[in-house]
Structure 1
Amino acid sequence: MVQDQLTEEQQAIILKIRKRVIEHIGINMDLYGLTQSAGHLYGLLFFTGKPMTLDEMGSEMKMSKTSMSTAVRSMLDLRMVNKIWEKGSRKDLYEVEYDWHQTFLDYFAIRWKKAVESNLLAIQKGIKETDKCLQETDSETFKAVLQRDKEKLLEAKSYYHWLDRLIDAMESGEIFDLVPR
């Protein structure tokens, strides 16, 4: 291994740099809805450069197997790590997804799509209920409030349709035509 050919001083310098980066990855992992320890684990996998088992990660990180498993499962769901098969190994191996652009797109597409679907359903229901109330009331004051609310709901609906198109552009990779890697 190349790292074995380094002096202790060189290894210490590399370790210091890596620790700083891993610490900041951990600090900012909340952007992805993950814990700081999951971020540290991601950093470990990133710098290790080889697939690792939960046992290996736990030994390196001094974390419980339960914590390791939870963090890895969360990162798998977000497509930040990949589970791989290696001939001769009976344990699951995990490696980091190095394409950070794709990780970003996957994360936001997955999260935003759920939010868009949920919010659009609520907005559609709100518009339907508002229309029903508009037809059933004779109160001009009530109608005025309902009409203002309906306009707001229609603006929100327009926004969520735009966001859905953005998600489609992210999923298809078209976003990179607008904002190259």
Structure 2
Amino acid sequence: MNDDERFYVEKMLESFGYPPASARIYAHLLFAGKPMTITELAQETGLGKSTVSTALRLLEHDGLVYYTKLGKKKLYKARSAFHKLLLFPNRILKEYVVPLRKLLEANPEGREEILRDIEEFEKITRKIIEFLEIAED
């Protein structure tokens, strides 16, 4: 992996809200060409084992990394999951847009323009999600 490749992958993940350590771990695993242990990742990235472990849990939770066991060792590997990253609009809708819309609908006075913008954003985002779900099949 060269630094330019890593840079773009790291920045892409950071733009989706991942911490820099998680982005670095993902980029490293994506281009490693082999599964790696926490110890190996810590040595090669210069991050502490605790930081690597925390980053891996987050990435694993989001489906970007998985592991297999070899005896007691966990060997981590990145999924080339760029299509999964495109599904983040669904997360944004569920966690932020829909709750905000509901709050504004409960007290819309003086917020009609913001409410219209949010409703339009929600409609467009749902179309994107629908398209991505079709493309994923």
TM-score of Structure 1 vs Structure 2, range by shorter chain: 0.7 to 0.9
Q: Which runs of 5+ in 1 are unaligned?
A: 1-14, 128-145
Q: CA deviation at 1:79?
A: 2.5
- 1:162 partnered with 2:123: yes
Off by >4 Å, runs of 4+ in structure 1? none
User: d(CA) in 2 for partners of 1:157 and 1:27?
Assistant: 27
Give 1:157 shift: 5.4
TM-score of the aligned structures, taking structure 1 as reference length: 0.61
Partner of 1:91: 73
Q: What do the CA deviations read for 1:12-43 (whole angstroms, capped 9, x no partner)?
A: xxx5xx23311332244320212333322212
Compare the two structures and name the one with the higher strand fraction: 2
SS at match of 1:93: strand
Tell me, in whole angstroms, the C-alpha distance in 1 between the residues paired with 2:111 and 2:47. 52
Question: Paired residue for 1:70?
Answer: 54
Task: After TM superposition, give the deviation of residue 122 of structure 1 in Å.
Answer: 1.0
Give unpaired runs (5+ residues) of structure 2. none
Q: What secondary structure sits across from 2:77 in the alignment?
A: strand
Q: Closer, same or farther in 2 for the Cα pair 1:110/1:25, shift >3 Å?
A: same
Is the 1:54–1:69 contact (alpha carbons within 8 Å) kept by the matching residues of 2?
yes
Higher Rg: 1
1:86-121 residue CA offsets vs partner (Å, 9 max, x unmatched): 3x43233321111312x2223332233211222122
State the identity as a percent: 21
Q: 1: CA distance between counterparts of 2:24 and 2:72?
A: 25
Among candidates 81, 95, 115, match of residue 65 of structure 2: 81
Cα offset, 1:70, TM superposition: 2.1
Of structures 1 and 2, the one with the larger relative CO (CA 8 A, separation 6+) is 2
Which has more helix, going by share of residues? 1
From 29, 32, 43, the counterpart of 1:59: 43
Distance 1:44 1:25 in 2: 9
> For residues 115 and 29 of structure 2, what CA distance do their matches in structure 1 show?
45
- Alignment of 1:47 onto 2:28: no
1:77 Cα deviation after fit? 3.3
What's the C-alpha RMSD, in Å, of the aligned pairs? 2.7
Contact 1:78 1:107 in 2 (8 A): no
The normalised TM-score by structure 2 is 0.76
CA contact (8 A) 1:126 1:153 kept: no
Q: Hey, what's the Cα distance between the residues in 1 that align with 2:115 and 2:9? A: 39
Q: SS at the partner of 1:85?
A: strand
